[in-house]
Structure formats: C-alpha cells, structure tokens
C-alpha cells in the first residue's frame, strides 16, 4: 500500500467515505478528482465540507483535500478540480494502480473501464453509487490477478496423535482437539517422529471428521511407521482470480446476495439502476421525488432492460418505484456502508490480500421508508437535510432532531457513529440531546481508525474530543460528553434508571463482552431499545434489540475462549501464545501484583519492628513471607538492578529447564508405557546467557529498567551502553544450579495454588529478611511504583520485556519465535480494528436507528454479520423475544416487568398477598440481588412475614423502588421465576 497511487473520482458523500478509509489505511498517494462546486445539500452527506465552502463556492475536491490529508501525514493527497466527461483524455490514469469512480454516468464508467482493461499491467477498476436508499458497486481487477491470502485468517496448527500408513494416510488430532480445516486446504508437517518423510511435505486435505483428515499416500517404504509427535501447519497458497469487463458483466452480472429474505432484490436493483442511467441520459435528470409519472417510465425501462438479461427475474414494481421515488436523495449511513466496503475492495486491488468482490454488490434499505399511504413532506428546502428528507420525509427528520440518545463508548465505532449521527441531524432540535461517555484517553495507535482524532489530541479524553470534532460537521448538535465508565459503581448516582428511561435509544460502541451484557441488562430492565455492534479486523456484527419485539443480547452466548491449563503455561508450553501469556503473567506478578502487595502490606502493618516482633512470636501476618522475600531481593542501585535481571534470566531460562529435566529425564515413561515428552509436551533446553545476543540483552535491559522504576532507582541512557553494561554483567557470577525437590504440576485440570501455610522456620526466616532489608534500606516501607502494563508506549520497555521473555522461553522449548507486533497484539489483548469495517458497521447501525425511531414492526429490522475479507454480508431478521408461558392467560418475555405499589407500612405478608391477587399465583421465593428475602423452607423466614418491606430491603435514601425476583408456585415440580417485580415503597 505504501507504494500505491489511487484515483478517486467524485467527492460527495460516498467519495469522501472511501477517501477517509483509504487514507487511514496508509497508501502512498490519493488523488481526488471532482468538477462539482460545494452545495448546501452536500453538508448532509459530505462530512469534510463546511458552510463556508458552500458560501464561497469552492470546488468539492479542493475544499476537502486538506481535511482528508490531516487523517494521515504519511499519505500524499492531490486534487484534480475538473470533471470527467466524454472528451477527457484518459492518459493520465496510467499513473494509478486503482481507479475508483462515483457519481459517474454509465457511459463514462464503460469508457474508463475499457481504458483500464487495455493497460499493462491492468489498472484495477471500481465504481459505485448511492441512489436514495439503494446503493451498488462493481469491481474489475482484470482477466487474471493474484490473491495472496484469500481470508486473512491465522494459519491453523494441529497437534497430531496418529498417522496411518495407508493410501491415503489418515491424520488424527490429539484427543478432543478439532483441526478446523476444510477440504482443499494445504498443510505441511513438522516435528513428526517415525514417519519423518512427512516433515516439510505439503499435502492437500480431505476432511473426514472434525478430528481426522486424509492426506497423501503414506503406504510406501519411504514413510516409516508413525511413532509420536508432529504438528500439521496450514499453508496459505496464493491463487488466481478472474474478472470480466463492465461491458460483459452488464447483461450477465455475478451478484452477491446480502439478504436471503430478499433473494430477488439484487437482480431487480441491477436492472433498476441501469434504467436510472438510461432515464438520465434521455432526460438530463433523475426521476423527480415521489413522481408516479417518472416512476412508471423508470419501471418500463427496467422491464425492458430485464428482458435483455441472461437471467430471468420478474421485476418487482414496488421496489423499482421506491428507487424512482428516492433516487435524487442520498442516505448518509448508506454512504458509510458502501464507502467502507469499496475502500476495502480498493485495498484488495493494491495488495492482493483477501478475496475481491465477484463482481457486483447491491444493497437496499427500503425498510426505513414510511408506508406509501403515510402523509409526509419530501420537498427540498435548500438546507443540509434535503438529501435525507427526500429519502425518509420530514416527519422522521423532526423525530431525529428531538431524539435523546445515549452512546456508550467513543472509540473506532463511536467516532464513525457520531459522524453518521451528525449527518442525520440527530439531537439538533430544542428538546434533543446526545449523551456520550467514555473513560478512555486517546492513544497514538487509535489514529489509524478513530478518524475524529488527530496527533494533537493524544492523551486527551476521547468523549470530549470526539464531541468537539463532530460539532465541526454539524454545529447544531446538542452533545453532553462524559468521562464515566458505565458499570454498577456508577449506576445509582450517575446513570440511574431515570437517566436510562429518559433516553429514546441506547447505542453500544464497546469493546468487551462484560460491558455489553451490563448495558443489555440495563436496557431490558428499563425497556429501552439497544443497538449493539462490534468489529474484529474485517469481521463485524450489528444486533438490533427492541423492547417486546426481539431477543436481548444476553439471550445468545458468545463462545468461551479455550482456557489454557495452568501446568501448560507454567511448565509445558506448546506454542508461542503460551509463551506470550507466561511472559505477560510474569510482568503482572513482578511489577504490578508484588509491588501492590507490598504497598498494601505497609498500609496495614505500620512499622517493620512491629511485624518482626510478631513474626518472631509466630503470630500470623498475612503476606509477610512473600513481602519479606520480595524486599530481601530488592535492588539498591542500578548495578543491582542489572544483577537481578541476570538472576531472573538464569532462573527463568536455565534453572527451570534443568529442574524439569531432573524431574522428567528425556527417557521418562508414563504409566501406560508411552513417552512423557510426547507432543504437545516439548522437552526444554537450558539457555546459557550470552551478552552478545541481542535478545538476551533486551531482556536484561528491559527487566533492569522496570525494577529500577519499581524501586525508585535512578538510571541514565548511557547506562545501557555496552561499555557500562557488559562489565556489570561480567562482574556478577550467578550461583550454580542446585537440584530442587519442588513438585512440578502435570495435571491439566489443576488450578494455580494459593498461598500455603508456612512453617515456623519460614516465618522466622521472613523476620530475618525483614530485619536485613530494614538495616540496609531504612525506607523499606516507602511505597513502591506499581507498574500497569501499557501497550501503546513503545518507549516504556513493557512490550520489550514481554517480547524478550516470550521469545527466550520459546527458544528454550524449541518453539518458533514471534515478532514484536504479534507479541504486542496478543499480550495487549488488541482486537484487530480497521477503518473500513468500522465505517460499514456504523452505517448499518445508523440504518437500524432510523427504524427504531420510526417504531417499525419486527420484520423490518435486520441483524448483520459481515466479513469484508471474503467478502460476505449476511442480513437477517432478529430473533423474536422468547415467551415463557405459565398458563393460557399468563405469559411473559424478558421485556416484561410486573409492578406492585406498596406503602410505608407494607409488610412482607401484605406484599405476598398483593402479589397473589395481582398475578394469581403464590410466591415461592422472593430475592433481591443476591439476598434471599423470603424462602419458606428456610428456618426463620416465616418470622419475617410481619416485618415491613422497608426493614427487609433497607432502601437507600430517596430510593423509590427495588427490582425483585419472585418465583411462582405453579404446582409443578419446579417453580418458575417470573419477570422482574418492581416494588414501589410508597415513600
């Protein structure tokens, strides 16, 4: 990408989306060409134009250029402020590797595509447009092109338990470990014992079951009998792709179908948009908004075009009329959806990474349109909302202006959503208010996808900065920016139920499951709509959650990550991920948990003398042994920091290996006669410290530096120079290895052990260590620096420590090392995020928002799962709210809530009686949170019946109600938990 140049024609709503995403991705040069002058209507879709650009009649490309260039200082952005027409000499296109056209006639598209086809090498061609609530794009990458990586997934590694000598040979995975391969995948092998001829051999896979697959013929003599070990590694093999020209594809299009409930739509839209081009060519304009006369003309053209197609598809009159009625408008969220998609296709064109579109995508969001009989106003008013009004009408525009919306999170998706909200005129009315909260600050690594932030914003709050930036897009918005975390701790005072109930809709822009589930529970309990979304690299999802109509987020469970056994991390790593997790744990233990423990210890136990006296009297003092050992080894100066780092090197990467091999020699056998050191267990090899090895030195320098910061020890940059560092390292001789009798855990089901009780000798030794530490350092109780892992600062040595530690451990176990970026991603739990996916997902969320505000029925809403790498977009109707039926007359869903209004003196007995009268069933259990209020079978609970509800529930001051869980005694074997019961105290 860093060597590629792209031409983008048309910098309207769709064009600016494509430009933003491409520049954020980091190509060498983007040239934006546009002959149009900025109009007031452009402000409703083009977020890099301003009112002053309209007033001064600036060219759209020239007005947008600087703001686009600010997104990435490494990308050159050029402008061509002239139109592309039939007379244009296309020779200038030869300097580009990819040409993207928007807002062009079909004739111009055909002319440019033909020119691109004739060049050698072929210039990749992409075109696309948004017409009202319809959009489409076409790709032509040439008659033959390379696809380097079809899906972008990490190559799979499969541990092997057996390979048969047969034709074909059958590979069996280790017990209970699926291979996740597909027929046709190619694998190579390594570390096989016995059948060594397979090592480095490449084979095509035929899947038999989730645990077995066939490979090549292994029956010949060159393949010895399989003994043990071995890993099958998936190989990414480049493949060829083939595209036809635009001219050839017009009558025989290959179409992607995003919504299988509207299987007919892509072919209809293809004919409809070709009819639009024909209509405009004949009439010099598009059909008028809501003109039935123009609609009938367009419909006739579409049917005529359909008759000439290679496919047979009956034209849907209603769909084509909707295209005609809205085509002069432009829905900004649809620009975001298609802009993200087309930008990703452009990146595929430049890199060969991922599978290109084959070759058309059409999408409509006609579900947002009001019913045909609804009275509304779609006329233009010469304002920034004209293009939106022409799509959805004045009524919805007014609703959007007065909306109360709460967005949680302001990262990648949050920035994109704010932009979409600004273009839709959200919360611009007198009663409107958009509240956004995010407790995070802006990091440098955010800038490549969170487009509202610039380098000068680093270390500033995300929410306030994004709010200020988005006001430049639409100054009329009312935004209240918070820096609070939404969690149980802020529930009562900052975001109580009254706050949630005051919102029309909640929007999640979160990056973790726990927060998503919490917001889902708040929306369900307060019966508010929730728009949920997320991305991971090229993958994304959108879920629409509407009270009483759909299931909630928590109705579906995300798959749990496979937990790595404790013994694997501690002693028997099998892959680099295990090594990275081990290194991350060492960082937490050494520089966060232990210093934190020391600080807390001295906050509870005031002086060393008192602690020593209690230990000598064999009185238990919590964590005293651990603290004493940690402080006993504490460095006093920079030299000792380096010495301590060398001790850690020898302990982690030499003594540990010797200890394991002492306990389990290479010829150790299991009870069943099998080898102990059998895949996936790898025997370690002790590492000898080498001061000339860069990886060894990186560990020493990063470890010494972190210990120095923990213990407030000064150091200088020159302390890391070989002239100073090497003599310090050479001057310290590490004690020889002494065999240990410490037990090594081999049970994969065993958990990490907590601190065990200590003998009197250990306690007295702890007292002696504390005494020595106190004598040599009279500030032993001085607070230590607790270091929290920070992945985004490359100068703090945090990632250096984990990278060196992980790769040294990998070397000890003969595991392939990982580069720094991979270590940083895994250790920092970085979810891959790219601008193209976040733009597409945010646009889909904004479309669903329009439906929620309109109050549509269930069949109008759509959930989405997409993967831009394949590419794949799957739209589906949300699952309905599941109903629990008690009897023919009484049922409820997760959205229901029963209410009981009591009085100050209301007793538990009265509550139960009132409940029975209201519901028709007795309560078999009353629970508040984790507290059991009434369980008849428990002793003493019957005595609570005459007590007041206020006494039993102990409400906070001014608390008007509580939500209770009440189980129903239905006479069945098991009682049924009813919906939440909101009990009002009557205060």
Please report, for residues 484, 620, 720, the alpha-carbon distance to residue 488 in angstroms, rounded to integers and kept in the order given: 12, 35, 46
Closest to 417 measured CA to CA, from 483, 528, 332, 493:
332
CB atoms within 10 A of CB 605: 17
Pairing of strands 76-80, 29-33: parallel
Beta carbons within 10 angstroms of residue 917's beta carbon: 9
Could you give the CA distance from residue 967 to residue 977 in angstroms, rounded to a whole number?
4
Residue of 567, 641, 701, 864 marked active site = 567
How far apart CA 455 and CA 610 sit, in angstroms, is 52
Q: In DSSP terms, which residues pair with 125 in a beta bridge?
A: 99, 140
The number of residues in the chain equals 987
Instruction: Give the Cα separation of 479 and 481 in Å (integer).
Output: 6
Write the CB contacts of 503 (distance below 8 Å, at least 6 apart in sequence): 404, 405, 406, 435, 528
Work out the number of other CB atoms within 10 angstroms of the CB of residue 73: 10
Contact 919, 931 (CB under 8 A): no
**What angle in degrees, to the nearest 10, is found between the helix axes of 317-326 and 292-307?**
130
Any long-range contacts for 313-316 (C-beta under 8 Å, 24+ apart)? 313/264, 313/267, 313/268, 313/271, 314/264, 315/268, 315/271, 316/264, 316/265, 316/268
Pair of tokens at residue 394: 């004045």
Tokens 């002058």 belong to which residue?
A: 37
Query: Coil, strand, or helix at residue 302?
Result: helix
Cβ burial of 761 (10 Å; 0-12, 13-18, 19+) is exposed
Tell me if 298 sits within 8 A of 279, measured CB to CB. yes
Residue 457 has what DSSP assignment? G
Q: Could you tell me the sign of the dihedral formed by the alpha carbons of 957, 963, 969, 974, in that order?
A: negative
**φ, ψ at 266 (rounded to 5°):** -55, -40
Q: Are 399 and 426 in contact (CB under 8 A)?
A: no
DSSP tag of 149: B
3-state secondary structure 726-745: HHHHHHCCCCCCCCCCCCCC
Q: In Å, how far are 911, 917, 968, 980, 984 from 921, measured between CA atoms?
A: 13, 8, 6, 15, 20
Token pair of 561 as six digits: 């990550």
Number of Cβ atoms within 10 Å of the Cβ of 735: 8
CA dihedral 591, 594, 600, 604 (to 10 degrees): -150
What tokens appear for 487 in the block?
Answer: 């969690």
Q: How far is CA 275 from the centre of its chain?
A: 40
Cis peptide bond N-terminal to 381, omega within 30: no
Task: Please confirm, yes or no, whether 567 is among the known catalytic residues.
Answer: yes
Q: Tokens at residue 681, please? A: 């267990």
- Please, what sign has the CA dihedral across residues 506, 508, 512, 517? positive
3-state secondary structure of 101: strand
- Give 18: exposed, middle or buried? Use CB within 10 Å, 0-12, 13-18, 19+: buried
Helix, strand, coil % over all residues of the chain, rounded to 5: 40, 20, 40
Report the 10 Å Cβ neighbour count for 287. 26
Catalytic residue IDs = 567
């Amino acid at each position: 990408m860093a060597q590629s140049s792209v031409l983008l024609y048309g910098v309207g709503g769709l064009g600016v989306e494509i430009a933003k995403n491409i520049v954020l991705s980091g190509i060498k040069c983007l040239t934006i060409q546009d002959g149009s002058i900025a109009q007031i209507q452009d402000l409703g879709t083009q977020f890099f134009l301003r009112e002053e650009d309209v007033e001064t009649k600036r060219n759209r490309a020239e007005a947008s250029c600087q703001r686009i260039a600010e997104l990435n200082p490494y990308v050159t952005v050029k402008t061509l402020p002239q139109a592309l027409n039939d007379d244009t000499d296309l020779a200038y296109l030869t300097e580009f590797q990819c040409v993207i056209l928007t807002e062009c006639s079909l004739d111009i598209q055909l002319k440019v595509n033909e020119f691109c086809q004739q060049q050698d090498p072929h210039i990749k061609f992409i075109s696309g447009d948004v017409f009202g609530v319809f959009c489409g794009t076409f790709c032509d990458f040439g008659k033959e092109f390379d696809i380097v990586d079809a899906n972008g997934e990490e190559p799979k590694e499969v541990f092997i338990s057996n390979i048969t000598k047969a034709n074909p040979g059958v590979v069996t995975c280790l017990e209970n470990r699926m291979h996740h391969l597909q027929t046709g995948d190619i694998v190579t092998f390594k570390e096989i014992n016995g059948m060594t001829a397979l090592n480095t051999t490449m084979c095509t896979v035929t899947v038999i079951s989730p645990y077995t697959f066939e490979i090549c013929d292994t029956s010949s003599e060159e393949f010895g009998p399989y003994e043990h070990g071995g890993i099958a590694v998936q190989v990414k093999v480049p493949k060829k792709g083939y595209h036809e020209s635009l001219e050839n594809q017009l009558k025989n299009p290959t179409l992607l179908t995003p919504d299988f409930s509207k299987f007919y739509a892509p072919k209809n839209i293809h004919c409809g948009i070709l009819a639009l081009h024909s209509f405009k060519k004949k009439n010099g304009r598009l059909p008028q908004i809501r003109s039935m006369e123009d609609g009938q003309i367009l419909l006739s053209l579409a049917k005529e075009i359909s008759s000439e197609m290679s496919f047979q598809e009956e034209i849907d009159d209603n769909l084509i009329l909707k295209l005609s009625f809205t085509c002069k408008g432009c829905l900004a969220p649809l620009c975001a959806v298609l802009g993200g998609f087309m930008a990703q296709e452009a990146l595929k064109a430049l890199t060969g990474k991922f599978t290109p579109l084959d070759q058309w995508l059409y999408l409509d969001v006609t579900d947002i349109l009001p019913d045909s009989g609804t009275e509304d106003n779609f006329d233009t008013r010469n304002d920034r909302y004209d293009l939106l009004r022409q799509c959805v009408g004045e009524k919805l525009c007014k609703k959007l202006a007065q909306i109360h919306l709460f967005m949680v999170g302001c990262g990648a998706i949050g920035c994109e959503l704010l932009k979409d909200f600004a273009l839709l005129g959200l919360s611009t009315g007198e009663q409107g208010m958009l509240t956004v909260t995010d407790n995070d600050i802006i990091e440098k690594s955010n800038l490549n996808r969170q487009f509202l932030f610039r380098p000068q914003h680093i270390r500033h709050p995300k929410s306030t900065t994004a709010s200020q930036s988005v006001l430049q897009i639409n100054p009329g918005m009312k935004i209240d920016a918070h820096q609070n975390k939404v969690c149980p701790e802020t529930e009562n005072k900052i975001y109580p139920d009254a706050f949630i109930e005051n919102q029309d809709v909640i929007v999640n822009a979160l990056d973790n499951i726990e927060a998503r589930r919490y917001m889902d529970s708040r929306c369900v309990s307060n019966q508010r709509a929730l728009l949920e979304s997320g991305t991971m690299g090229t993958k994304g999802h959108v879920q629409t959650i509407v009270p009483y109509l759909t299931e909630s987020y928590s109705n579906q469970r995300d798959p749990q990550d496979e937990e790595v056994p404790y013994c694997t991390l501690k002693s028997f790593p099998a892959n680099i991920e295990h090594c990275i997790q081990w290194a991350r744990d060492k960082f937490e233990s050494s520089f966060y948990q232990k210093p934190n423990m020391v600080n807390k210890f001295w906050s509870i136990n005031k002086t060393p003398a008192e602690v020593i006296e209690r230990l000598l009297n064999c009185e238990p003092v919590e964590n005293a042994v651990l603290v004493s050992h940690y402080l006993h080894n504490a460095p006093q100066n920079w030299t000792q920091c380096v010495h301590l780092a060398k001790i850690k090197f020898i302990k982690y990467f030499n003594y540990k290996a010797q200890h394991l091999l002492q306990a389990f020699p290479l010829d150790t056998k299991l009870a069943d006669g099998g080898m102990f050191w059998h895949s996936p267990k790898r025997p370690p090899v002790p590492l000898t410290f080498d001061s000339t090895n860069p990886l060894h030195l990186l560990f020493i320098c990063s470890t010494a530096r972190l210990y120095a910061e923990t213990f407030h020890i000064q150091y200088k940059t020159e302390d890391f120079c070989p002239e100073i560092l090497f003599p310090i390292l050479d001057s310290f001789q590490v004690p020889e290895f002494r065999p240990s009798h410490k037990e090594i855990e081999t049970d994969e089901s065993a958990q990490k052990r907590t601190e065990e009780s200590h003998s009197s000798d250990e306690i007295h030794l702890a007292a002696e260590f504390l005494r020595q530490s106190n004598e040599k350092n009279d500030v032993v109780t001085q607070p230590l620096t607790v270091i929290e892992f920070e992945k985004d600062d490359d100068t703090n040595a945090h990632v250096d420590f984990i990278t060196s530690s992980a790769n040294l451990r990998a070397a000890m176990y003969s595991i392939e090392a990982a580069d720094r970026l991979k270590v940083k991603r895994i250790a920092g739990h970085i979810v891959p995020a790219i601008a193209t996916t976040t733009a597409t997902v945010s646009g889909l969320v904004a479309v669903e928002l329009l439906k929620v505000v309109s109050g549509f029925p269930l069949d109008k809403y759509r959930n989405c799962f997409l993967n831009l790498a394949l590419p794949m977009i799957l739209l589906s109707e949300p699952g309905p709210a599941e109903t629990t039926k008690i009897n023919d007359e009484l049922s409820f869903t997760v959205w229901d809530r029963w209410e009981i209004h009591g009085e100050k003196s209301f007793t538990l007995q009265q509550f139960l009686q009132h409940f029975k009268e209201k519901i028709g069933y007795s309560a078999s259990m009353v629970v508040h949170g984790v507290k059991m209020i009434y369980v008849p079978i428990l002793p003493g609970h019957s005595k609570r019946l005459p007590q007041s509800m206020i006494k039993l529930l102990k409400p906070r001051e001014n608390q008007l109600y509580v939500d209770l869980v009440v189980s129903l005694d239905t006479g069945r074997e098991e009682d049924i938990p009813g919906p939440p019961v909101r009990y009002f105290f009557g205060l």
